[in-house]
Amino acid sequence: MMRGMRKPRSSPLSFLSRRWALVLAAGLLAGCVGLPGAPTAKPLALLPTDAILLGEQHDAPEHQNIHTEVVKVLGRRGHLTALVLEMVEQGRSTVGVSSRSDATAVRRALAWNDAAWPWKLYGPAVMAAVVEDIPVIGANLPRSEMGRVMQDASLDQRLPPAALQAQRDAILAGHCDLLPEAQIAPMTRVQIARDMAMAQAVVDNARPGGVVLLLAGSGHVDRALGVPRYLPPGFRAQAVRLQAGGKAEAAAGFDVVWPTPPVPPRDHCAELRPKQP
């Protein structure tokens, strides 16, 4: 029987200066966007499907709690074939790691970047998969590839013109409108390449009768711009947006919206704006 496909249990940027690196960090926080306790019916209602693309807001802790609950719900019932992560680079996984391994061994296998993705928030979902012997797969574009990708103009053709412009606008807004004009196209190519990489990881880990769970920022799972655009025809995926605050209303680009409690407002760009005399 394939790894992760067990019978259900009965119990329930080196190219940027430090300033632009800060801009990038703020953009990731601001641009990527519960369902308290993730009731069992929520993820199970999305089945059957080949993949669930769970889009979070990175600074909403309830969203990471939902990650853990969804992994448990799907894993304990034998549905989950793999947990695929934006938070880990391609080439890293827990394949070959014992289900009895501790967090130190798992973090080492994944080369976990705690500064970017605090383990205290994301670790519980990862370990919930590990103890169920479900592989955790890195899906993000390696940093070593970013320089090449930034120069690859062919990536501009992977989105229709309107979608490409929307992605460029989102990149600029997500970087607090401080990104130099010359960096907008290269950074958009990075975003496209990251979405393509995640899509490939999802497809590579799909298994008949099971479901792959992708955890990523909500911008990455947007049907109009992100990972779903790069999935093959006939591949079934549910794009879910975790939305901090607001009502569970239909949102363009997503199949389902799961509302969560609002988070305190925070201006991620304030420290990057020029100081007033």
Nearest in space to 88 (alpha carbons), one of 122, 128, 129, 132: 122
What confidence category does residue 185 fall into, taking pLDDT thresholds of 50, 70 and 90? very high
Q: What is the average per-residue pLDDT within 247-273? A: 78
| pLDDT at 251 (0 to 100) | 76
One-letter amino acid for residue 123 of the chain: G
Query: Residue 219: exposed, middle, or buried by beta-carbon count in 10 A (0-12, 13-18, 19+)?
Result: buried
Task: Tell me phi and psi for residue 257, to 5 degrees.
Answer: -120, 125
Q: What is the average per-residue pLDDT within 41-68? A: 94
Per the CB < 8 A criterion, the answer to whether 99 and 133 are in contact is yes
Classified as helix, coil or strand, 193 is helix
Per the CB < 8 A criterion, the answer to whether 36 and 69 are in contact is no
For residues 19 and 135, give the distance between their C-alpha atoms in angstroms, rounded to a whole number.
37
Mean pLDDT of the chain: 85
| pLDDT at 247 (0 to 100) | 64
Query: Residue 155: exposed, middle, or buried by beta-carbon count in 10 A (0-12, 13-18, 19+)?
Result: buried
What confidence category does residue 111 fall into, taking pLDDT thresholds of 50, 70 and 90? very high
| pLDDT at 48 (0 to 100) | 97
Q: Which domains does the chain have, with CATH numbers?
A: 46-262 (3.40.50.11550)
Q: What is the average per-residue pLDDT within 24-48? A: 57
Four-CA torsion 169, 58, 244, 202, nearest 10 degrees = 80
Bridge-based pairing state of the strands 51-56 and 237-244: parallel
pLDDT above 50: residue 95: yes
pLDDT above 80: residue 130: yes
Tally of CB atoms within 10 A around 78? 18
Bridge-based pairing state of the strands 80-89 and 211-217: parallel
Strand partners, 82: 212
Distances (CA, A) of 116 to 10, 26, 84, 123, 257: 37, 11, 17, 13, 26
Per the CB < 8 A criterion, the answer to whether 194 and 145 are in contact is no
pLDDT above 70: residue 225: yes
What confidence category does residue 52 fall into, taking pLDDT thresholds of 50, 70 and 90? very high
Q: Which helix (H) or strand (E) holds 128?
A: helix 119-131
Per the CB < 8 A criterion, the answer to whether 156 and 193 are in contact is no
Nearest in space to 264 (alpha carbons), one of 247, 245, 241: 245
For residues 46 and 74, give the distance between their C-alpha atoms in angstroms, rounded to a whole number.
11
Q: What is the average per-residue pLDDT within 176-198? A: 95
| pLDDT at 25 (0 to 100) | 36
CA gyration radius, the chain: 18
